[in-house]
Amino acid sequence: MSLSLSADQPAVPDDADDGVWLECIECGETFAPFDDVRYTCDDCDSLLEVRYADLPTFDDFEGQGVWRYADALPFESGVSIQEGATPLYEAPRLEESIGVEALRIKHEGMNPTGSFKDRGMTVGVRVAEELGVGRLACASTGNTSAALAAYGSRGGMETLVLLPAGKVAAGKIAQASLHGARILEVDGNFDACLDIVQELAGQGEAYLLNSLNPFRLEGQKTIGLEILEGFLADYDTVPDRIVLPVGNAGNTSALYKAFRELVQAGELEEDDVPKLTGVQAEGAAPMVEAVENGADEVRRWEDVETRATAIRIGNPVNAPKALPGIRETGGTAVAVSDEEITEAQRDIAAEGIGVEPASAASVAGLRKLRAEGIVDDDERVACLTTGHLLKDPDAAAAAGSDPEPVPADTQGVLEHLQD
């Protein structure tokens, strides 16, 4: 099975249900989408993708939010909390200081639970309903657990989340807790949590809604569709490059799939597909290592550390989908330091846009690539920011200015301001 941009639209197999089926990205085996719970290929255990008999064009989309793109999704509607339709902010000072033709910030922190994960959950929980499962589960660095808990409660389902103990921002744990999830703190890192929850799912104890689940990435495709429509409306062209943080590499995979489907539908030329450019923290950069070394596979990093908790992942499960996405689009991957991430977080905040540390990695990476001459000054670029500032208030407070004590009288305040 080819993940090439030039791959033809596949023939519809007998397994298809109303024009939808699952297909292995390695051996090409196909499966009915909703007959059984399935996350990987029965034959070779490789990743699956959702396929469609009919691929839409931009003219087929109507409405607002994720479900505007229902013709590119498995259902007409899902378990929804009005996710999607997030802002594509202008950032003129950043645009000038970095030195590109145009820079826009796609702020996924403006989704209902404060991150892009809501897009995947509105589809994933709807699939869970179709399959008739009762308990949902995920491993999480925080944002997935918040989204799963909210959408699970919206759908009336039990939710179970596994978190690495002491490694998740308090705001994210609070969300999962308030939305009624059962929270298990694991004595290990995120990758250990994912190993456990995959085993639980394999034993039928829960329905897995990490990005290993191919249906979750279908919702995340809509980020790319919104970016393209926004650029077409404002610039009459698509962006030259999309820069995004990389943790489990789900968004890189999802955006690449969205663009492949537009190419197959005749709606986007191969040469016009934006360069997908991944950014990781230096302390958790297995994807960058693979891209720089020209490797076909990612080497698992057992020890990862970064203040950008949402991308503190050493074994990105979607690497087999994301690596072709970066290479086929002419993109690249870059690692940035925690200090560069914090600087970018402050600079984004100076534009009035509040993001958590992992989100700022995209801007930090763009700045580094522009300084190295890998990004040209005539490029139009979208930077994806994946989560809201309030997801990690401690990190925001550490990056911001300190409160200044003053007396409880006007004259004392004026004197302090003059000093």
283 has binding-site annotation = no
CA distances from 111 to 117, 155, 221, 278 (A): 8, 18, 15, 22
Instruction: Go through 173-191 and write b for each residue having 16 or more CB atoms within 10 A of its CB, e for each that does not.
Output: bebbeebebebeebeebbb
248 has binding-site annotation = yes
Instruction: Go through 17-40 and write b for each residue having 16 or more CB atoms within 10 A of its CB, e for each that does not.
Output: eeebbbbbbbeebbbebbeebbbb
In DSSP terms, which residues pair with 24 in a beta bridge? 48
DSSP 3: -
Amino acid at residue number 188: G
Chain CA centroid to CA 322, Å:
12
DSSP calls for 172-209:
HHHHHHHTT-EEEEESS-HHHHHHHHHHHHHTTSSEE-
Pairing of strands 380-385, 333-336: unpaired
DSSP calls for 367-411:
HHHHHTTSS-TT-EEEEEE-BBGGGSHHHHHHHSPPP----SSHH
213 has binding-site annotation = no
In DSSP terms, which residues pair with 52 in a beta bridge? 20
251 has binding-site annotation = yes
Decide: 279 and 310 in contact? Cβ < 8 Å. Answer: no
230 has binding-site annotation = no
Choose among 184, 199, 188: nearest CA to 303: 188
210 has binding-site annotation = no
Pairing of strands 30-31, 20-24: antiparallel
CA distances from 34 to 12, 20, 30 (A): 16, 9, 12
Q: How far apart are CA 394 and CA 297, in angstroms?
A: 35
Decide: 94 and 103 in contact? Cβ < 8 Å. Answer: yes
Decide: 140 and 175 in contact? Cβ < 8 Å. Answer: no
Q: How far apart are CA 255 and CA 48, in angstroms?
A: 16
Decide: 9 and 19 in contact? Cβ < 8 Å. Answer: no
124 has binding-site annotation = no
- Binding site: what residues are annotated? 143, 247-251, 386
- Binding site for pyridoxal 5'-phosphate: what residues are annotated? 143, 247-251, 386
